[in-house]
Each structure stands twice: as C-alpha cells, then as structure tokens.
C-alpha cells in the first residue's frame, strides 16, 4: 500500500487491476468500477464537478473486455469478477458503486441482491431518455463488447414501456484501440464517421461508451438528431441517490 499526501491510497489487487482512493472533504464515498484506464480522468473530473465533496475510489481491471470478446459475451466469469469488486467496494466503505462500463452493465442486476448499497449502471439514465424520445435509435460504439448490452438494455426498457423501437448498431472499428494507445485524433475521427453514418437513418443516437463523450464539443450543429452520452447523466443519478 502506498500513501500519497495523506489523501490518496493505492492498492495493487493483481497485475492488471488497480485500486485508487482519492477525494476531498468526505461526505459520502463512491466506488467506481472500470474496464479500461483511459476514461478514469474524465470520469473523475465529472464526478468532482457534480459532487465536489464526495470521496471516491477506483477499481480498474483491463482483463474484463478481452474476456468478453474472446467468449463472445458476458460469461459467468465476468459476472463473478464484477460481483467480487462490488462486494469489496462495499466492504471498504462505499456508500454506492457506479459501474462505468456499459459492457458490464448487466452484471449490476446480478450483484444488486448481494449487497446492501445502491449499485448503478452508467447508461441507465441515457437509455431511459432515448426510449422516451425516439422510436428509431442508433447505438454507436467504439468497442464491440458494448453493442449487445446497450441494444439489449434499450429493447428491454422499450418492452417494459409497451413501446416498439428499431435499434441500429454501428461499431466504430479501431476507435477503442486508438483511445487505449492515447491516439485521440484517430478515435475521434472514427467515432465522428460512425455518428455520421448512423444519423442518416435514425431519430436519436446514443454513444455506448462513456469515453465517447469527448466527441460532443466537436460536433457543433453538424447533426439534427439528438446525440446522448452516458457520463454526466450517469453521475447525476448517483448524486440524486446519495443526496
């Protein structure tokens, strides 16, 4: 364990998983679970913008996405991994947990009955809004592992509302890999191209990864269809719950 300035704690869980604790004057404690380190900084900024007094810690495991891709979906092993991280977060004092990756959002339903703290999917508010506003919805993703969970979540919510929707899935091949190697220019170009293709046949677009929110300031008024991201609304739901 390494302490920094009395306010930041690092614990190495295993070779590819990292635990980080940081915060300001403590009111509530939020645990965040990531599948890639590339979005930790942007999520951290958003969390402190919306909840400036919260204390948070991060659990990052970059093994999860390769497991999903190699297995072709959310196999039981992934549910066990995410469940263990959420239960550990509760044991370490989290008042709530936010799962920041849409690829593992379905794991939230598995773990909720096993803990006594609220556990949130980052894409819950975004998909609620999408189903409420449109019938032809485009899902633009930078990672293949997210397409299935996001489209399934949209269809489930539409079914629960008694609404028929048409979902178009668009994978921006290579964008996630570009972001992982910090090539943001290539990432943004590929995502923009995916949005442009999808906007031609849909009424509304959701960006499947929280990391894709970085593209929004670059869009201007290029597109007439609404384009939703999960990051800010995903954090705002936590604030509403924690007070």
Render 100-115 in DSSP notation, one character per residue: --GGGTHHHHHHGGG-
Q: Rounded CA gap, 214 and 187, in Å? A: 10
Average pLDDT over residues 83-112: 96
Task: Please tell me whether residues 115 and 140 are part of one structural domain.
Answer: no
Q: What is the pLDDT of residues 155-211, one digit of tens each?
A: 999 999 999 999 999 999 999 899 889 899 999 999 999 999 999 999 999 999 998
Q: In terms of domains, do 27 and 50 share one? A: yes
178 and 81 within one domain: no
Give the per-residue pLDDT at 221: 86
Query: For the residues 131-139, what does the mean pLDDT come to?
Result: 97
Q: What is the CATH number of the domain that holds 169?
A: 3.40.50.1860
Compute φ and ψ for 10, nearest 5 degrees.
Answer: -120, 135
Given this model, what pLDDT does residue 64 score? 96
Are 21 and 111 members of one domain? yes
Q: Which domain holds residue 71?
A: 2-122+232-242
Helix (H) / strand (E) element for 97: namely strand 96-99
3-state SS class at 98? strand
Total domains present in the chain: 2
On whether both 74 and 8 belong to a single domain, the answer is yes
- Output the pLDDT for position 180: 86
Residue 150 and residue 205: Cα distance in Å, rounded? 12
**Residue 5 pLDDT greater than 50, yes or no:** no
116 and 184 belong to one structural domain: no
Positive or negative, the Cα torsion across 108, 109, 114, 116?
Answer: positive
Q: What average pLDDT does the segment 137-142 reach? A: 97
Whether residues 112 and 159 fall in one domain: no
Is 164 found in the same domain as 71?
Answer: no
Distance CA 149, CA 3 (A): 37
Q: Please tell me whether residues 36 and 115 are part of one structural domain.
A: yes
Enter the pTM of the model. 0.86
Instruction: For the chain, give the mean pLDDT.
Output: 89
Same-domain check for residues 108 and 172: no
Residues 103 and 166 in one domain: no
Looking at the fold, whether 143 and 102 belong to one and the same domain comes out as: no
């Amino acid at each position: 364990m390494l302490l920094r300035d009395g306010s930041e704690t690092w614990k190495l869980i295993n070779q590819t998983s990292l635990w980080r604790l940081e915060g300001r004057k403590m009111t509530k404690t939020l645990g965040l679970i990531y599948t890639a380190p590339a979005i930790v900084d942007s999520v951290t900024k958003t969390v402190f913008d919306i909840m400036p007094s919260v204390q948070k810690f991060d659990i990052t495991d970059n093994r999860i996405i390769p497991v999903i891709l190699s297995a072709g979906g959310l196999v039981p092993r992934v549910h066990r991994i995410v469940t263990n991280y959420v239960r550990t977060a509760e044991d370490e004092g989290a008042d709530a947990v936010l799962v920041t990756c849409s690829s593992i959002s379905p794991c939230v339903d598995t773990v909720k009955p096993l803990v006594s703290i609220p556990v949130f999917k980052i894409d819950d508010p975004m998909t609620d809004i999408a189903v409420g506003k449109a019938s032809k919805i485009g899902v633009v993703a930078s990672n293949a592992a997210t397409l299935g969970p996001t489209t399934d979540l949209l269809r489930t919510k539409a079914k629960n509302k008694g609404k028929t929707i048409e979902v178009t899935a668009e994978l921006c091949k290579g964008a996630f890999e570009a972001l992982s190697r910090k090539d943001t220019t290539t990432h943004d170009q590929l995502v923009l191209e995916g949005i442009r293709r999808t906007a031609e046949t849909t009424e509304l677009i959701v960006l499947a990864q929280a990391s894709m929110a970085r593209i929004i300031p670059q869009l201007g008024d290029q597109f007439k269809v609404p384009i939703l991201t999960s990051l800010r609304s995903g954090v705002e739901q936590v604030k509403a719950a924690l007070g």
